[in-house]
Amino acid sequence: MESENVQKKVVMTAAQPTGKLHLGNYLGAIKNWGQMIEDYECYFGIVDMHAITIPYVPADLKRNVYDCAAQYMACGLDPQKCNLFLQSMVKGHAELAWILGCICPIGSLERMTQYKDKAKKHKDALNSGLLYYPVLMASDILIYNADLVPVGEDQKQHLELTRDLAQKFNNMYSPTFKLPEPYIPKSGARIMSLQSPDSKMSKSDPNQNGTLYITDEPSVLQKKIMSAVTDSDSSVRYDVQNKPGVSNLMSIMAAFTQKTYGQIEDEFSGKGYGDFKKAVAEVVIESLAPVRQSYKDYSSDKAMIEDAIKKGSQAATRRTTKMMAKVYRKVGFLNFEK
Ligand code: TRP
């Protein structure tokens, strides 16, 4: 793969193995990653080392990694066309994180908004790993010398820190790391909760009727969509301020059908919310049917998942080993193997 792809730009991104993917993960991220695999050399990480920064159960982590890989593949991340790796299998991530940590001011970690939010939530189990999280993320990115890093809005601050650390390392030693560009896909829809359309769709939403999982049964999807919160006006019109619920359903429909908001408005002018929701449900159910089917196939084939992760992690190790040798040499570590 490497030799025929030398001219291709390198894309690196990752997500934690959180279990079930919802429509926000799918339309906002994974679906777009799938569109990049033809044009770029892609490294997609399942970051299990990030997942242990908050309290967790080891057996669940293992299960979630398998489940996450099966869902990624079901969403179109073909392991033959991209490198699906597991962070803990690629040793350089932790090694580079240590070195970057040694040039990273504590203050800049304490300022990270995600750290502050999570620290509040986990007051009674506040480990240094949580503070150090962005350094590991910087390592994830820099070790691939990636050109593009697709991330959501909420990760922009971490990416800025990554650039700062790269710059600092380059200045202290010599030019080594490319400064990675955040890539916020144009088509990346921001999907909100169906029950409280002012907040993002989330796995930890206490009202699970607001969250559509890509592996939900059709009847469940139908029920959740039919009971989505709307408003008392009854026209299908895109207006996030005054009609957040309807606008959210319109974004979902637009993301799946490529229709514009104008086209959707025309199609449903004079019709009520009932008809509109039915149509949204139909589109979602139909679009997710193949994903759900291949998820079933993949998740019953453990060996296939293991092969994919192994292949991806080996490719990731090949790419990152060279970078680590360079970094070790620059920081002054001895190497007797040359
Ligand atoms: N912190 C990211 C998130 O929560 C996950 C992540 C870890 C990541 N390492 C990364 C994303 C490297 C992009 C690149 O979404």
Atom in ligand 1 nearest the alpha carbon of residue 154: 15
Asked if residue 249 and residue 136 are part of one domain, the reply reads no
Q: List the structure tokens of 295.
A: 């998820």
Q: Which residue CA neighbors atom 15 of ligand 1 most closely?
A: 15
Within-domain flag for 287 = yes
Within-domain flag for 289 = yes
Domain CATH number, residue 230: 1.10.240.10
Within-domain flag for 197 = no
Whether 223 is catalytic:
no
16 lines ligand 1 (CB under 6 A): yes
Spacing, Cα 176 to ligand 1 middle (Å): 22
- Write the burial class of residue 173 (CB in 10 Å: 0-12 exposed, 13-18 middle, 19+ buried): middle
- Order the strands of the 181-183 sheet from edge to edge: 83-86, 41-46, 10-15, 148-150, 181-183
pLDDT at 6: 60
Contact yes or no for 69/135 (Cβ under 8 A)? no
Residue 325 lies in domain:
10-188+302-331
140, 147, 160, 163: residue to mutate for ligand 1 pocket, most atoms within 8 A of CB: 140
Whether 118 is catalytic:
yes
Within-domain flag for 218 = yes
Contact yes or no for 246/274 (Cβ under 8 A)? no
Q: List the structure tokens of 311.
A: 């292949």
Asked if residue 163 and residue 126 are part of one domain, the reply reads yes
Asked if residue 144 and residue 36 are part of one domain, the reply reads yes
Within-domain flag for 198 = no
Q: Which residue CA neighbors atom 11 of ligand 1 most closely?
A: 14
Whether 259 is catalytic:
no
Asked if residue 325 and residue 222 are part of one domain, the reply reads no
pLDDT tens sequence for the chain (338 residues): 445 546 799 999 999 998 899 999 999 889 989 989 999 999 999 999 999 999 999 999 999 999 999 999 999 999 999 999 999 999 999 999 999 999 999 999 999 999 999 999 888 878 999 999 999 999 999 999 999 999 988 899 999 999 999 999 999 999 999 999 888 766 567 899 999 999 999 998 899 999 999 999 999 999 999 999 999 998 999 999 999 999 999 999 999 999 999 999 999 999 999 999 999 999 999 999 999 999 999 999 999 999 999 999 999 999 999 999 999 999 999 999 87
Catalytic residue among 200, 271, 326, 330: 200
Domain CATH number, residue 103: 3.40.50.620
Q: Which residue CA neighbors atom 13 of ligand 1 most closely?
A: 13
Number of structural domains found in the chain: 2
Within-domain flag for 114 = yes
Asked if residue 144 and residue 26 are part of one domain, the reply reads yes
